[in-house]
Amino acid sequence: MNRERAGLAVFLLLTFGVTWAIEIGLVRRHAVGSAAYIALLTGVMFIPAVCAVVVRLFVERQGFGDAGLRWGRGRHYVAAWLLPVGFGVAAMGLAVWLRQAEFDPWMTKFMVQMKTSAPEVELPSFGLTRVIVIVVNLLAVTVNTIPCFGEEFGWRGYLLMRLMPMGAGRAMVVTGAIWGVWHAPIILQGHNYPDHPVLGVPLMIGFCVLLGVVFGWLRLASGSVFAAAVAHASVNGPANTPLLFLRGRNDITTGITGLLGQAVMLGFVLLIWRLGGMRVGQRVERGVDDVAERVPESGD
C-alpha cells in the first residue's frame, strides 16, 4: 500500500510537471489549431501513459494486472463509440430549442472554409459532402483511439484504480477533476473555449468530472481501458460533428463541452447512479489471476 501511495504521488507529479512544462513552454508559441499546435497536443496525450508505465515498473513494481489491458466485454464498445455522439446531438437540439444557436443544415461555415482553403478542388454535391463528413467523422474514432489511449491508460488505467478504495463513484469524480485541472494551461490559451479562456477552466473541470464518470463506468463495466479510449476518441471526434450544423453559437453554452452538453451528460450520469452503476455491481480485475473483487460502495 505504501508503494501504491508513493506511486500515486510520483504519477501526479510527473504527469502534471512534464505536461505543463511542454504546454507553457512550447504549445503557447503556436496558434491554436495550427499543425504544430495539434502535433504537440497529440504528443502530450501520451504523457499520462508513459508516466503510468514508469510508476508501475519502477516505483510500485507490481506490473499491469489491474490496468485493463484486455479486450473486455465487447458490447460496451458500441456504447463507447455512439454514446458521446448522442451527447453531441442532444446538446445541438437543446441549443436550437433554447435559441443559443441556429440550425444550419447547409453547414455554411464549414463549406466556406473548405472552399477558401482549397479553391481549386471541386467539391461533390452538398448532399454527398454532408454524408462524407458524417461518415468520416464517425470512422475517425479508429485513428483517434491511439492518442486517446495515451490519456486513458494513465487516468482510467492507473489513477482511477488507485483511487478505488474511496468507492467507485468518488474515484470516478476525483479522477475526472484531476484530469480537468491537468488541461488548465491549454484552456487558458484558448483551447475548447476560445472566447472565454479564463471561464473555460472551471467549465473544463466540470466537463471532465462528468466525462470521468462516463469513462470510468465504461472502463469498469467492460473490464477494459480500451473501451474508455474509444469513448474518449468519440468525444474528440464525431461528438463534435453536430457543431457543423450550428451557427451563431457560444462556446460557453453550446457543444458537448458547453453548459448544455454538460447538462445532457449530467442527466446520463444521474441515470447511471439511479440504475446502480456507481455501486459495487462492477467487477474489477486484480493481478494476473483476474480475481474479481467487490468495489466499495461510493456512499451515494
Taking the C-alpha atoms of 176, 181, 183 and 189 in order, what is their torsion angle to the nearest 10 degrees? 150
pTM (two decimals)? 0.92
Burial-class residue 110 by CB neighbours within 10 Å (0-12, 13-18, 19+): middle
Residue 1: per-residue pLDDT = 61
Dihedral class, residue 93 (left if φ above 0, else alpha if ψ from -120 to 50, else beta): alpha
Q: Could you tell me which of 190, 189, 175, 195 has the C-alpha nearest to residue 253?
A: 195
Domain locations in the chain as residue ranges: 66-294
H or E element that contains 211: helix 197-222
pLDDT tens-digit map of 164-201: 999 999 999 999 999 999 999 999 999 999 999 999 99
Residue 283: per-residue pLDDT = 47
Q: Which residues pair with 294 in a beta bridge?
A: 283
Residue 122: per-residue pLDDT = 83
Q: Which residues pair with 115 in a beta bridge?
A: none
Residue 295: per-residue pLDDT = 42
Q: In the chain, which stretches have pLDDT less than 70?
A: 1, 280-300
Q: Could you tell me which of 232, 240, 278 has the C-alpha nearest to residue 256?
A: 240
